[in-house]
Chain A
Amino acid sequence: MSDNCLSAHLPGQGLMGVFLRQRVCVTDSVEDELEFALARHRPEGLEQLEAQTRFSRKELQILYRGFKNECPSGVVNEDTFKDIYSQFFPQGDASMYAHFLFNAFDSDHNGCVSFEDFVLGLSVLLRGSVQEKLNWAFNLYDINKDGYITKEEMLDIMRAIYDMMGKWTYPLLKEETPRQHVDIFFQKMDKNRDGVVTIDEFIDCCQNDENIMKSMQLFENVI
Chain B
Amino acid sequence: MAAGVAAWLPFARAAAIGWMPVANCPMPIAPRDHSKRKDELIILNVSGRRFQTWRTTLDRYPDTLLGSSEKEFFYNEEAKEYFFDRDPDAFRSVLNFYRTGKLHYPRYECISAYDEELAFFGIIPEIIGDCCYEEYKDRKRENAERLMDDQEENKDCKMPNMTFRETMWRAFENPHTSTMALVFYYVTGFFIAISVITNVVETVPCGYKSQKDVPCGERYTVAFFCMDTACVMIFTVEYLLRLFAAPSRYRFMRSVMSIIDVVAILPYYIGLVMTDNEDVSGAFVTLRVFRVFRIFKFSRHSQGLRILGYTLKSCASELGFLLFSLTMAIIIFATVMFYAEKGSSSSKFTSIPASFWYTIVTMTTLGYGDMVPKTIAGKIFGSICSLSGVLVIALPVPVIVSNFSRIYHQNQRADKRRAQKVQKARLARIRIAKKGSSTAYLQTKRNGLLNELLDLTASEVEQQHLNKTSSLLESQHHHLLHCLEKTTGHEFVDEQLFEQNCLEGALQPYRSHSRTPSGSSQDGLTGTCCSRRSKRGSTPTPVPNASLPALHTQPHMLTHTLPKSPGLQELSAINIQCAEQQLHSSSRSNLNMQTNEVDRRNTRQQLQQVTTAIISVQTPSTGSSTEEDDDSHGLPNPGASVVTTASSNIVRVSAL
Contacts and interface: CB of A to CB of B under 8 A. Distances in A.
B545 A84 contact: no
B22 A181 contact: yes
B11 A202 contact: no
B492 interface: yes
A221 B7 contact: no
Interface in B471-516: 477, 480-481, 483-485, 487-495, 497-498, 501-502, 505, 511
Interface stretch (B213-221, B431-439, B585-593): B431-439
A212 B21 contact: yes
Which of A63, A87, A166 has the most chain B CB within a 10 Å cutoff? A87
23 contacts: A58-B38, A58-B39, A70-B5, A85-B12, A87-B5, A91-B438, A125-B14, A126-B10, A136-B18, A161-B487, A165-B492, A168-B498, A169-B492, A170-B501, A172-B501, A172-B502, A177-B488, A211-B24, A211-B26, A214-B27, A218-B20, A219-B30, A222-B10
B490 A165 contact: yes
Contacts of A63: 10
Contacts of A184: 24
A212 B369 CA distance: 98
Given A169-B492, A170-B501, A122 B30 contact: no
A42 interface: no
A151 B548 CA distance: 32
Given A90-B437, A185-B22, A136 B17 contact: yes
Given A87-B1, A211-B527, A170 B17 contact: no
A170 B493 contact: yes
Which of B7, B11, B25 has the most chain A CB within a 10 Å cutoff? B11
B8 interface: yes
A211 B525 contact: yes
B230 interface: no
B38 to A, nearest CB: 7
A223 B15 CA distance: 13
A88 B477 contact: yes
Interface in A130-157: 133-134, 136-137, 140-141, 157
Contacts of B525: 210-211
Interface in A76-102: 84-85, 87-91, 100-101
Contact of B480 (A88, A101, A157): A88
Contacts of B32: 221
Contacts of A66: 7-8
A18 interface: no
Given A90-B437, A161-B487, A211-B25, A219 B14 contact: yes
Contact of A215 (B12, B20, B480): B20
A87 B2 contact: yes
A218 B18 CA distance: 12
B21 A84 contact: no
A140 B10 contact: no
Nearest to B24: A184
Contacts of A134: 21
A118 interface: yes
Which of A90, A167, A177, A216 has the most chain B CB within a 10 Å cutoff? A90
B488 A161 contact: yes
Contacts of A100: 18
Interface of B: 1-2, 4-5, 7-27, 29-30, 32-33, 38-39, 54, 56, 99-100, 434-435, 437-438, 477, 480-481, 483-485, 487-495, 497-498, 501-502, 505, 511, 524-525, 527, 545-547
Contacts of A222: 10, 13-14, 30
Given A164-B484, A165-B488, A170-B545, A219 B8 contact: no
A62 interface: yes
B5 A84 contact: yes
A158 interface: yes
A169 B498 contact: yes
A80 to B, nearest CB: 10
A171 B495 CA distance: 13
B434 A90 contact: yes
Contacts of A164: 484
A212 to B, nearest CB: 6
Contacts of B8: 66, 70, 84-85, 88
B531 to A, nearest CB: 14
A162 interface: yes
A104 interface: yes
